[in-house]
Structure 1
Amino acid sequence: MLTLTPEEISQFRTQLADSPEALAALDAIEECEGNLEAATQLIAVETTDAEVSLRGDSNFLEKLAEKLSNIICQEEFDELMTGVLTTAIASLATSGNIPVALATSVVIYVAKIGKKQFCETAKPEP
């Protein structure tokens, strides 16, 4: 289980202050006491019905990230993951055709474990 500290949530709030959808995702993470997995499931229930098959799965966030790994693991995405993450979130939301709030959780997840490590272990779906 990946958990964000109140300090990390606060740092992300500062970075993502210009994105209401990203801030809503951070509200959900805060509501779930920093539990990124639980918050992502909550966000999925509130924002989409496209990922119904993954809901309730204890590895929902990991599976969602793996589904999007073909986008995340592109070299161009490296640049987006440095500095302020709003561009990475917007790019993933657009390219992956998912709500910004869900993209926020995925980008935070990848940032927290490290993009390089994520891409070395991700098993993208065909």
Structure 2
Amino acid sequence: MIDLQIVAELQIVFADIPDALFSLETIADCEGDLEDAAMTLAIRAGQQPDITNSEWLDGLAKKCRVAICRSEFRNDMVDGNFLPLFEHFVNTKVCPQLLILPVLLYAHECGVNRFCQPLDPL
């Protein structure tokens, strides 16, 4: 669950990006439940998730892990600054735009360093 205060703060940051705002509104409508919001947004984006909410979002986040864990974005993610990576995802089309913030928030909620650990050198 994401704190709705964080969602409100991000709505200010992403005020000029309609898809991001829609994603944040959906997260708020789901009372901060990222998995429920991601399923709703996935269907709206034309995806057909067919496994449980948490497994589907986890799988999507893992597909995006290489981008999330890039050194130029990792510190921003740790600090909760999602805009640089959001813009990178939009430009590279890593995943549907409606799903970017749920994925980034999921990775942040998991703990960015722990989420990125499988890609870290030994």
Deviation at 1:121? 5.1
Does the 8 Å CA contact 1:15/1:85 hold for their aligned counterparts?
A: no
* 2:9 corresponds to 1:6: no
- Cα separation, partners in 2 of 1:42 and 1:56, compared to 1, 3 Å: farther
* Higher mean displacement: 3-12 or 82-91: 82-91
Q: Which runs of 4+ in 1 moved over 6 A?
A: none
Cα distance in 1 for residues equivalent to 2:20 and 2:50: 20
The secondary structure found in structure 2 opposite 1:108 is helix
- Cα separation, partners in 2 of 1:84 and 1:69, compared to 1, 3 Å: closer
Deviation per CA, 1:81-121, whole angstroms, max 9, x where unpaired? 34642221121233353222201111111222322111115
- Cα separation, partners in 2 of 1:6 and 1:97, compared to 1, 3 Å: closer
Does the 8 Å CA contact 2:20/2:97 hold for their aligned counterparts?
A: yes
Which amino acid counterpart does residue 39 of structure 2 have in structure 1? Q
Length-normalised TM-score, structure 2: 0.81
Partner residue of 1:60? 56
In percent, how many aligned pairs have the same letter? 26
Does the 8 Å CA contact 1:72/1:92 hold for their aligned counterparts?
A: no
Q: What is the number of equivalent residue pairs in this alignment?
A: 117
- Cα separation, partners in 2 of 1:25 and 1:86, compared to 1, 3 Å: same
Give the superposed CA RMSD: 2.1
Length-normalised TM-score, structure 1: 0.79
> Structure 2: which 5+ runs fail to align?
none
